Structure formats: C-alpha cells, structure tokens
Amino acid sequence: MRAFNTFLIISLFCFSCQSKPSEGEQLLAEAHEKQTQSIALIGELEQSLETTSIEARDSLIQVLHELEESLFEIPGYHLELPGHEGHDHGHSKIELSNQAIYDVQVDLLKQLNEIKKIVTHK
C-alpha cells in the first residue's frame, strides 16, 4: 500500500510538472502565425502587382520589398521566405519582449492588408 501511495504521489507530481505554454510562449506562437500570414500575403501582393496597372505600382512594390526585408526570426521559429531557401539574408536577432514581437507582427499584417485594399480597390 505504501508503494502504491508513493507511486501515486510521484505520478501526480510528474503530471503537475508538465509545462503548459507560458503566456510569453503563446504570444510567440501567435506572432509566428501572424508572420506566416504576412509572408503569404506578401507573395499574393507581389503576384497581383506584377499584372496591375495602378499608378502606385512601383511604390507599392518598393514598400513590399522593404516590409519583407524587415522580417525577423521569431525566437523558437525559423523564418522561411519563399524563394530565399538555402541562403542566409543576414536577418539579425531582434531583442524585443514577446509582447513587442507580437505587436510588430500584428502591425505588419495590418499594413499589408491596407496595401491589399489599394491593389484590389476594395
């Protein structure tokens, strides 16, 4: 009986030690999801701008290029840019809080959605 109680206590202790994602880790996961959406949207917008004849086309292409160059690796995640496989673009590590990293990704996605409105005239 004592062995069973010891086993039960150890089991409960081990289960309680299993870590749930912290709030910071959750923010980074959400930031990565936003970044993934942004990368996909950049690709869509680049394709749309190739075939559009809007007046601001060249300026928007430049803005997209600058936004793409401003992307940085989120801690714990690899930055994967289509067409950039196999070589390092020297994206430096950014020392921001998890909340700031998330906020940057939210802002980037908002900017890209504004560009999308311009490109699609919606």
**Considering the domain boundaries, does residue 3 fall inside one?**
no
Q: Is the pLDDT of residue 14 over 90?
A: no
End-to-end CA distance of the chain: 71
Dihedrals phi, psi of 73, to nearest 5 degrees: -70, 130
Task: Report pTM.
Answer: 0.75
Alpha-carbon torsion 88, 92, 98, 101, what sign?
negative
**Considering the domain boundaries, does residue 13 fall inside one?**
no
Q: pLDDT confidence of 109, banded at 50, 70, 90?
A: very high
**Considering the domain boundaries, does residue 7 fall inside one?**
no
**Considering the domain boundaries, does residue 8 fall inside one?**
no
**Considering the domain boundaries, does residue 76 fall inside one?**
yes
% of the chain residues with pLDDT over 90: 59
